[in-house]
């Protein structure tokens, strides 16, 4: 499949908005639709949805078997839910992203910005749901209770070789990155949304730190896998919508690669679920330590994924 026509789009939208995709009949688009439900319709259900997909895809490559296992974990996938309509503008921008075939020359930052921009179409119900989804995580409550500390480039300078600070600064300089790829003050929601406002700003500081500490490469595969990790760590809606968008794009344009890409996503998800919650760790107090010590003291094992290595072999870092 290289295109998705209007009638298929309408079907996909119905699957997403009712939480009832035909997983056995459409094993790729059905899973992508279920992930899209988690992203844009029912964020509070994202953990059971992703846990169910992770377990089913690890157990079998057969679409019908996967469908039965997911239905056993999520009975509403068969029975359906009352339809919740996503804003039309959100759907239009979503389709604008996934209608483009993946390109090795496409900029990662361009995709990031496009996926972030989907949030501008969220209605009040979705904003409230995203807040509730974050508050399912103990680490988010711990973060909210802490004073906010933001690292600067100057904080990373003049540390010993082999420290997290030096490794991070070297990576940032080598790639022309900034410690915050997006201005943290632009991701603040008006109103009383402490979970979203703190975690949105926080992850801009921690994303590259988690890359290094978690063993995620600065590659397309690494970005996909770490999105699963971040989502599992604290329920970040950006990661959920990024994974849903990537999954739908792959189902449409690259179905032969869908299972490998799904494994990359869910290897990151399982890694995040198996690792202690890190969002509230005082990372500014850890930057002078070597990564090996941080891993030992926090009980972090770097990701070990054959699927990530395989994907990186086909799509090496630029």
Q: Where are the domains of the chain?
A: 6-314
Q: How far apart are CA 303 and CA 265, in angstroms?
A: 12
DSSP assignment, residue 300? P
* Segments of the chain scoring below 50 in pLDDT: 1-2, 105, 318
pLDDT at 1: 39
Residues 218-242 as b/e (b if ≥16 CB within 10 A, e otherwise) read: bbbbbbbbbbbbbbbbbbbbbbbbb
Model pLDDT, residue 104: 53
Q: Are 220 and 311 in contact (CB under 8 A)?
A: yes
Q: Which residue in 248, 224, 255, 231 sits closest to 108, CA to CA?
A: 224
Any alpha helices (H) in 60-180, and if so which ranges?
63-73, 76-79, 88-98, 108-117, 124-134, 138-144, 164-175
- Per residue in 96-130, pLDDT (tens digit) is 999 987 765 455 678 888 999 999 999 999 999 99
Please check whether residue 34 is in contact with residue 77, taking contact to mean a CB–CB distance below 8 angstroms: yes
Say which residue the tokens 């063993």 belong to: 215
């Amino acid at each position: 499949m290289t295109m998705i026509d209007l009638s298929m789009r309408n079907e996909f939208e119905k699957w997403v908005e009712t939480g009832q995709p035909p997983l056995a009949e459409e094993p790729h688009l059905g899973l992508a639709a279920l992930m899209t439900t988690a992203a844009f319709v029912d964020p509070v259900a994202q953990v059971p949805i992703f846990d169910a997909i992770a377990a089913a895809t690890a157990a079998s490559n057969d679409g019908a078997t996967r469908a039965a296992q997911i239905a056993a974990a999520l009975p509403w996938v068969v029975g359906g839910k009352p339809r919740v309509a996503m804003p039309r503008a959100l759907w239009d921008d979503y389709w604008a992203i996934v209608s483009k075939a993946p390109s090795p020359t496409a900029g990662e930052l361009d995709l990031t910005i496009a996926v972030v921009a989907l949030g501008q179409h969220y209605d009040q119900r979705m904003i409230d749901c995203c807040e509730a989804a974050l508050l399912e995580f103990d680490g988010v409550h711990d973060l909210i209770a802490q004073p906010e500390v933001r690292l600067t480039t100057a904080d990373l300078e003049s540390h010993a070789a082999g420290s997290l600070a030096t490794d991070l600064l070297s990576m940032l300089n080598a790639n022309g990155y900034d410690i915050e790829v997006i201005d943290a003050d632009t991701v603040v929601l008006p109103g009383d949304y402490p979970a979203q406002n703190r975690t949105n700003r926080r992850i801009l500081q921690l994303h590259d730190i988690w890359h290094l500490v978690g063993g995620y490469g600065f590659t397309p595969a690494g970005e996909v896998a770490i999105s699963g990790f971040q989502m599992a760590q604290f329920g970040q809606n950006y990661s959920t919508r990024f994974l849903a968008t990537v999954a739908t794009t792959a189902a449409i344009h690259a179905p032969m690669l869908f299972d490998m890409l799904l494994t990359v996503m869910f290897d990151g998800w399982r890694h995040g679920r198996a690792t202690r919650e890190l969002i509230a760790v005082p990372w500014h107090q850890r930057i002078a330590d070597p990564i090996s010590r941080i891993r030992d003291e926090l009980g972090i094992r770097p990701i070990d994924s054959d699927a990530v290595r395989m994907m990186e072999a086909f799509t090496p870092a630029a």
